[in-house]
């Protein structure tokens, strides 16, 4: 006797893929019209994020003993020992990373209760990683400026996107699955008593 499980499973998989693509497409349009056509041109959100990342990175550097400050004339410039070190520009403020991470989790099927805490937690972790990245780039510029360009464009790009991929995998493999009922302590016995 044949069962219809493979056909049902394939139909369910196609429905989930269609849902993912539909939600991702809607979110892309929202990003395009909300950010690219309005917020990016306004510039205040990007400027605030750049300033925030700069200040947090300087705080990290000062905590570990470096003479770091924010430039008094340019709020997105990290100074090390009074010398220009790293400028946090719009592409490096993390906004696109937050949107990519949150968009994937929103589009991927899974319980909303978990999405409500996983997305903010993931964004906070990505923000922390970005702060550490900027601080590390400032140290890199100060001690080995010849490798700064390579580390900025390749090393840290690999680390940050690898981290985000790891969060996505955690979501897709562990947290997006519905909670399974607890297993019984003793397996049921079907054998008649002795």
- 15 vs 28: CA distance, rounded Å: 20
Identify which of 126, 44, 166, 163 has the alpha carbon closest to the alpha carbon of residue 134.
Answer: 126
Give the predicted TM-score (pTM) of the model.
0.80
Q: How confident is the model at residue 33 (pLDDT cuts 50, 70, 90)?
A: confident
State the distance between the two ends of the chain, measured CA to CA, in whole angstroms. Answer: 35
Q: In what order do the strands lie in the sheet with 68-70?
A: 68-70, 77-80, 83-87
Mean pLDDT of the chain: 87
Tens of pLDDT, residue by residue over 103-146, are 999 988 889 999 999 999 999 999 999 999 999 999 999 999 99
178: Cα within 13 Å, side-chain hemisphere? 2
For every residue of 120-131, DSSP letters joined together read HHHHHHHHHHHH
Whether the predicted pLDDT of 187 surpasses 90: no
Tens of pLDDT, residue by residue over 56-101, are 999 999 999 999 999 999 999 999 999 999 999 999 999 999 999 9
Q: How confident is the model at residue 22 (pLDDT cuts 50, 70, 90)?
A: confident
Report which listed range, 45-49, 74-78, 189-193, is most confident.
Answer: 74-78
Any idea which of 5-14, 87-96, 172-181 has the lowest mean pLDDT? 5-14
């Amino acid at each position: 006797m044949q069962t219809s499980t493979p056909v049902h499973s394939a139909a369910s998989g196609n429905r989930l893929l269609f849902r993912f693509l539909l939600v991702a497409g809607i979110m892309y349009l929202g990003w395009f019209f909300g950010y690219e056509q309005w917020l990016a041109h306004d510039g205040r959100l990007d400027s605030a994020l750049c300033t925030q990342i700069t200040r947090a990175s300087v705080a990290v550097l000062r905590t570990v003993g470096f003479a770091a400050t924010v430039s008094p004339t340019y709020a997105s410039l990290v100074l090390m020992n009074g010398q220009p070190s790293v400028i946090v520009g719009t592409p490096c403020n993390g906004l696109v990373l937050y949107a990519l991470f949150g968009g994937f989790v929103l589009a991927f099927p899974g319980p909303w209760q978990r999405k409500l805490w996983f997305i903010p937690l993931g964004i906070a972790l990505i923000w922390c990683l970005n702060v550490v990245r900027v601080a590390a780039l400032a140290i890199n510029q100060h001690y080995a400026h010849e490798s700064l360009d390579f580390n900025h464009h390749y090393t840290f790009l690999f680390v940050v996107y690898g981290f985000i991929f790891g969060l996505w995998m955690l979501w897709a493999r562990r947290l997006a699955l519905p909670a399974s009922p607890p297993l019984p302590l003793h397996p049921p016995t079907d054998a008649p008593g002795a």
